[in-house]
Structure 1
Amino acid sequence: MVGAFAAAVRAIWVILASRAPVGLSDPYVYLQAAASLAGGRGYTSLLGRPTAYYPPGYPLFLAGVQKAAELVGQQSRLIVILGLAQAVLGGVGAAALVIAGCRLRPGIRLGILAGMIFALWPNLIIHSGLVLSESLFLCCFCVFLAALFTWTLSLQSQQPRHQGAVLAVLLLATAACTLVRPQSMAVILPAAAVAWLMSGLGWRFALRCSGLLLVGMLIAILPWTLRNAVVMNEFVPMSTNTGDNFCIGFHQGATGGFSISPECATEGNYTDGPKVEVERDAELRTRTMSWIVAHPGEIPELSYKKLRITLSHDADAVFAWESYGADAHLSSGQRSLLNWICNVYYWIVGMLGLAGVVLVLRAWWADRNSHERSAQASSALLLVTSCVFGVLLPVLFFGHERFKIPILPCVALLAALAIHSLLRPGSRSSEAVSTDSTSFADTDTEAGAEQEVTSD
């Protein structure tokens, strides 16, 4: 029911509020790339030349939605159909978080709390109606978390039930996340390894699971690298926008946020063809590294600015809904109200998430010398390390509210953990994350109840 509720809330928003994007921005570029793919012309830039500037995951998804709309003669309603598809993705993501939460502690209460936090997240609801990759990535990442937690739990409990199916879902979810947001998955790999080592499961366990995630990433990377070699005659593992992202964050006069600066200008543009695109990416990366080496003293302040820009607010979808100012259809009061709702919700959940971090770390510290090692505890630690590694991305590139969205499912689970603990005031704080081996048996006895919830 949680998944159905999340999808319904998003569908209502899409039906009432979806608008076609205007102006030259990411949504327009995505739509043009999808039109090229749907028309059989391949993945091309605005000028019709082969490109690898953006990761291919979202344009491929958008092209599939466009083809489906054309098949039923509703291509004129593409934006609404896309929004409804993304509403369904939001429902799948919420249902997957219910499963993930049930793997953190026996019972379904924690999972339902996490799913509802995700379902009611205002900024994410608005994102459902936008031509942006967040809804697709969040769905894939929530499924990834649910599959990963289930798989690691089955490994330690040595219960092979449905292990093959779970493994297949985990690999596919990892590959899908990599196609949509490769940078985010690149930091999840070390975050997971650190969590498994911290939880005391051993380096063999960490190596085995890390290798599995790497295989999932390679399922996405290798075919796309081969495509780029054939179509562009260049070695491009995923995308060519790394140079731009680096330069925006590190140049003379950088603000820490997004800005178009002459310091990042080149003779050619990425739309000028594969050769220019690849050379431009390499030039900007080299230029950025030279600036960093020459200005090490500016890095701490820049890093702080990037984190402040990324983490202080959570209303980027409101700005995107108005096409970044090109379609300012809201009154000042309406805009302020929407921003306020989005930010207050984020601040409350964020504080609860921080409380969840404290509970996880306290439980880990209290049990650091215990001989009992728990996959549930490692999953909780993975939420913490994913948040830590996730906020490094804007430090490496530039600050933007959108750049924290990939870790919001982890924040929702940590917030749910805090609420769950508050609802049980008689429980010991060290039990914030169950590490008792009997919890696996408890999980099995409640499997039927979990399946009833997660099937939605």
Structure 2
Amino acid sequence: MSADAPAAAPRRDAAAIFAVALAVRVAVVAWAAGRFPPTADGTYYHRVAERIAEGLGYTWLWPDGVVTYAAHYPVGYPGAVGALYALFGAHPAVAMLLNAAVGALAALAVHRLASRAAPRSRAVPALAGALVALHPGLVAYTPALMTEGVTGALVACAAWASAWARDRRPALVPFVVVGLLVGAATLVRPQSLLLAPVFAGLALSGPAPGGFPRPGGSLAWRAARRAAPVLLTTAVALLVCAPWTARNCARMNRCALVSVNGGWNLLIGADPASTGAWAPIQVPEACREVFDEAGKDACFGREARRYIAEHPGAWLGLVPRKLAATFNYCGAAGWYLHEANPAAFSEANKVALGAIETVFERVVLLLALAWAARGPAAPGAPLGRARGPSLAQRALGLARLALLALGIVAALHVHAWVGYLALLGLALLQGRALLGAPVLVGAALAVLAATAATHAVFFGAGRYALVAFPLLTGLAALAAARQGSEQPRGGAPRAVNTAGDAPARGPGDELL
């Protein structure tokens, strides 16, 4: 066997994962293209993309013939679709193929992240990539002209870039790439901006690449060296959005980073009659005579904040409902297909797809809980008789067991949102060891936490959880990985970094 054979294997696996992910998504597009027109928010994205393709910009034509500048929905997705419409024609199938290509990149990114998290295993990265490639919720959502699948894929790619940045420290160029990808995700889903400093921080954590010692110097100098990549990543993400922000300041009579719907969403989530999910907005009396799009959103935001300040307990009491609406049941694909064409995708079809997707997602959650319950590895522990656990260790073990039991019961019951919170709690019990964990671990937990926090404040919907599914699915595959070191194929043992990503790289460790 040639020396290049082991190096070529990860590349072949990565290419196969991407090919499978793309093939199944293109097959779904071929089936759906002529059957399912844009619906729900997809109708708006499609129409705005048509206007962008026609050179009319992000504007809206009202029934009375009046044209206004708009920014209610984020520009990133209709902007990308509009560019493709200008090249290939304004057909929904074009947007569906964009979804397919970007969704396949998510499977590739998760495979490469898992290969770093389990550097001695070929099966674990293949499992992680395959689970994302064939995820029934993600695959069946491909025909939807909606943003969640694209956002999840962009976030997974940004996490992949973060792992690359960790490998390449102290180089700053990879952090620019992370910022570009997070900026693109922000244009599609504004709250993604929160991930810019987090992903930069993940790249800075873990052992120094190549086993070299970290640079010395004064405490202030070391702090500045660590802060610079975080600031650079965040600045690049903001610069990606800056032209659109400037456009909003000029055209919308009010500055907005990306979109002007934060006030709307906050008010929907502050309705005392809320079920936790989307509902038609109840227009406050103070806003009834405000017709400017940005001005109305600002008014809604003021009224929502006033209600929250006056009724903090009632607003906090809605949080469990919002998290339940987000995490208990996704069903976004079946909902969209049925909404677009009930004759082609019946209620029974929707229920069947929802059941398959729910079983898949609950298994993913159970596997992720199993990974988190193992606790941090303890490399280098001496062989032979060990001391008994301390009181603190016993308490930690009991807490871990309690959270695991709670998570399992929740995953097997209707209240899955409790299971996702239990997963976050179990991970946090790993303490400082979590700081050196592989980027896949930190990114998956960060996206899950950010999704939960965002929709605890605003309102929930099953499709919003799709953003976290690629990375969470990759994290679940790590339950199949061994703790500690394992022998590489081919014989000679190598040093293994059990706390984080593999610091040493061969020529086949990266696809790109």
Please classify the TM superposition score into its range, dividing by the shorter chain length: 0.7 to 0.9
Mapped pair 1:60 → 2:79? yes
CA 1:90/1:264 → structure 2, altered by over 3 Å: closer, same or farther?
A: farther
Written as runs of structure 1 = structure 2, the 5 A alignment for 1:69-80 is: 69-70=88-89, 75=90, 78-80=91-93
2:184 to 176, 185, 191: 176
String of CA shifts for 1:276-302, please: whole Å, max 9, x gaps: 111111111111111111112223331
Aligned to 1:434: 498
Mapped pair 1:136 → 2:150? yes
Aligned to 2:97: 84
Aligned to 1:412: 473
Contact 1:189 1:214 survives alignment (8 Å): yes
2:70 to 51, 56, 65: 51
CA 1:290/1:368 → structure 2, altered by over 3 Å: closer, same or farther?
A: closer
Unaligned runs of 5+ in 2: 1-15, 209-221, 379-426, 488-494
In 1: Cα distance, 2:356 partner to 2:440 partner: 31
State the identity %: 25
Contact 1:195 1:379 survives alignment (8 Å): no
Deviation at 1:345, TM superposition (A): 0.7
Write the letter of the residue equivalent to 1:418.
A
Deviation at 1:126, TM superposition (A): 1.4
2:441 to 357, 375, 380: 380
TM-score, structure 2 length as denominator?
A: 0.74
In 2: Cα distance, 1:167 partner to 1:195 partner: 11
Aligned to 2:135: 121
CA 1:302/1:342 → structure 2, altered by over 3 Å: closer, same or farther?
A: same
SS at match of 1:49: strand
Contact 1:196 1:382 survives alignment (8 Å): no
1:341 to 332, 356, 360: 356
CA 1:423/1:350 → structure 2, altered by over 3 Å: closer, same or farther?
A: farther
In 2: Cα distance, 1:93 partner to 1:310 partner: 21
Deviation at 1:253, TM superposition (A): 1.1
Paired residues, number = 423
In 1: Cα distance, 2:484 partner to 2:131 partner: 16
Runs of 4+ in 1 over 6 A off after TM superposition: 196-202, 362-370, 422-426
Deviation at 1:59, TM superposition (A): 0.7
Mapped pair 1:223 → 2:287? no
CA 1:22/1:138 → structure 2, altered by over 3 Å: closer, same or farther?
A: closer
In 1: Cα distance, 2:251 partner to 2:429 partner: 55
In 1: Cα distance, 2:135 partner to 2:79 partner: 26
In 1: Cα distance, 2:199 partner to 2:284 partner: 34
Between 132-141 and 300-309, the greater mean CA deviation after superposition: 132-141
Aligned to 2:107: 94
CA 1:135/1:383 → structure 2, altered by over 3 Å: closer, same or farther?
A: closer
Written as runs of structure 1 = structure 2, the 5 A alignment for 1:238-317 is: 238-263=258-283, 266-267=287-288, 276-317=292-333
Mapped pair 1:26 → 2:41? yes
Aligned to 1:6: 21
Unaligned runs of 5+ in 1: none
Aligned to 1:322: 338
SS at match of 1:383: helix
CA 1:119/1:379 → structure 2, altered by over 3 Å: closer, same or farther?
A: closer
Mapped pair 1:402 → 2:463? yes
Deviation at 1:112, TM superposition (A): 2.2
In 1: Cα distance, 2:428 partner to 2:293 partner: 49
Deviation at 1:183, TM superposition (A): 0.9
Between 301-310 and 82-91, the greater mean CA deviation after superposition: 82-91
